[in-house]
Structure 1
Amino acid sequence: MHRRWLTAILLAVALSGPALAAAPQSFAIEGRHFLRDGKPHVIRSGEIHYPRVPRAYWRDRMQKARAMGLNTIQTYVFWNLHEPEPGKFDFSGNLDIAEFVRIAGEEGLDVIVRPGPYICTELDFGGFPAWLLRTPGLRVRSMDSRFIAASARYMQRVGQELAPLMVTRGGPIVMAQVENEYGSFGRDRDYMQAIKQQMLDAGFDIPLFTADGAGPSYFEGGPMPGVTAVINFGGGLKDTQDSFAELEKFRPGGPRMVGEYWAGWFDHWGETHHVTDPEEEAKALDWMLSNDISFSLYMWHGGTSFGWQPGANGGGASTPYQPDTTSYDYDGALDEAGGITRKYRLFREVIAKHLAPGETLPEIPQSASPIAVPRFALTESVTLRDALPRLGKPQTHYFPRSMEDLGQNYGFVLYRKRLDAAAKGKLDINEVRDYATVMANGKVIGTLDRRFGERGFETDIAAGTTLDVLVENMGRINFGSKLVDEYKGITRSVRIGDEQLNDWTMYPLPLDDLSALQFRKDASAATQPVFRRGHFALKNVGDTFLDTRELGKGHVWVNGHHLGRYWQIGPQQTLYVPGVWLKPGRNEVVVLEVEGGSGRSLQGLTAPVFSNPPNADKPKSAASP
């Protein structure tokens, strides 16, 4: 095994004497240079996130990183997943970041970690745990004492996992980032200093750095005195050259590194799938290596934002809300399933031209081909309305409460009100976050989509009607000033005409356990949200992509694993299913159909599909019939 740090540890163990430690290693910054064990060092890094890749595939991805010529892996640390409730931490299974780091080291890779606490990364709430919003008035990314206390507790716990793996103790972690692109958000130097001190207190005794967009305005708030500043950008050779010219003006004579070179981009629902020109990206990479400039490719391998992970952007007046897709393919060098792309091969050719004397690239590991799953029917169903008593305990309040007020982080909330008198006029929900399905006695009468700022529609409801408003959390905004108050559900009030509707029964629906659902044989169409179930059999397992093009809008679980959201508007038209989540024999698929399409069956494809139907970017009222 080719790894410096493991060799050092094995030598220390083999030698006798309690005072002996691992062989000395170092990583330092001196002038323009990064120094690895005292020698000038160019960081060739790629970003990959452990929660977005099944644990069983981590080593495969690391080996492919080495074979492409990378010498470093970079990752964020996901606060929202590690501390799902205050003081309750989880570093097990797919969240075992220490094991992720150890595997990288075993494969000859250094590691750069970015613990936040804010990480953006198209993740719900920018990686902050949603329970922070349960404290009225708490402001994230600020010196609010309640936020600082929560952040310090989190950072200490991360330090317990990662401090033993720092290069200063013979491990592979060589650098760590303070916060994340703070220059795009604020100018509070005290806040940045507080986060830096939290990292030091947690044992991050390695070089620290900040990362910000390549522009003078971003440099005003993000970088810190005495801390290395790197830049984030994308766009090809000219943008690369211009960006480093900006960095040189700001920190003349300092180390040159792009902390995120955007060699791809992410997708929003209803918008076009993003791809970049691999030749242009390869030219930029070649120029950087020709000038001894360090880089980290973002994303080198994106993976999948499984379950409720995807976040959102808050756009302008015409696009007030832009939810992210489940796929985080990012047009990376490795595709969503870990397959080798043309971009990977071009990057490998470029890096091979700039290797140190005596350095060689390993052979590219073989990738297992995704499998096809023959079409299978969804033959059983139960309506969401009928399943309510088994999915959660209702709460009653005079005013509708937000999801956070109900003690819930993700999923849906169903708001129920029985109308004693007839009601006619405009139904106005102020405001829905983020997608509402409105039903009268179980029949859908309208939908409201935050993407278009929709708040209501004209209605005429008879006395005695049960009004249900099912609200889906489509992902909290993860970038910019709007993220600070990203409450979900019905966040204010509901009116019909001039009358405000009060006295609500609310069903929190996190949908983290579907085992209590009672299905019956039925594959008929439904006029309301419905759970459907089907099964398929396999002799041999493998990755596959569930084809959702005939479905409308909803979520899919396979053998209890929440794959994530599908939506007919695209661009994502398939859901990635890791083969390690399948099994020989019978496999179970559960679909929550929020809006029904024409299909009552699914199949597994060997490749993903990205496409947009006509008018996907328009509200239903503006779309052609």
Structure 2
Amino acid sequence: MKSIDKMMHAIVIRVNRIYVSDDDIAFWEEKEVRPTLTIDSMRDVLRVFINGKLIGSANLYSIWSFESEGSVIGHWVKVVQPVQFIKGYNDLLLLSQTVGLQNYGAFFEKDGAGFRGQIKLTGFRNGDIDLSKSSWTYQVGLKGEFLNIYTMEENEKAGWSDLTLDAIPTAFSWYKTYFNSPDGTEPVALDLGSMGKGQAWVNGHHIGRYWTLVAPKDGCQRICDYRGPYNSDKCTTNCGKPTQSCKIKNYPEINL
């Protein structure tokens, strides 16, 4: 298997340039504090980069951890993330990924995604910096998508590197491998249980998205009964197991 780092599918990127003066650095050292990024409300997944380095991501329990990975899903949460700048101009990049929108219930069309409310930096010598009114640079999608490296014509032009069994997973990577077409005419199942969140292509054809999450251990009923008012907890199955483990390929136009 081969891989390319930092080219995984994403939704929206917001970039802002922050200037840090000598007075700011002296203030932080004197007070023994660090500046903090605060976002009033966001969903579903957010990763924060400063000068190209991943410095924070949300986890499944809405707890932020410095230099770690994870995600917040399905609800709006407040983000408070300590950050570290260098003297001069710093590029602050917020990568927002939308997992899916609610498709039933009252006022579901107003739920939305991304960011809500104020985005600000606190802890500066001259006071807080309100980034909500700043000029942001937006980008939808990432480089690998624009280069179409998932197609059979373009993927050989990308800078792939061999992936070893002891390689450390990275936050954003493209992975490529080859397999022989199995005998018979039955559908082929691709087990993506070891992957995280992304999309999959076979011979240049998009076969869908995946996001491997483990379902809660509790909540499955021994007896399934759909009678009465509907709710999303009825007849749940596979508690404690991955919510998605494979994608089924059964498209005639894809020749294996």
TM-score tier after normalising by the smaller chain length: 0.3 to 0.5
Write 1 or 2 for the structure with the bigger share of strand.
Answer: 2
The structure with more radius of gyration:
1
Greater helix share, structure number:
1
Between the two structures, name the one with larger relative contact order (CA 8 Å, sep ≥ 6). 2
Q: TM-score, normalised by structure 1?
A: 0.19
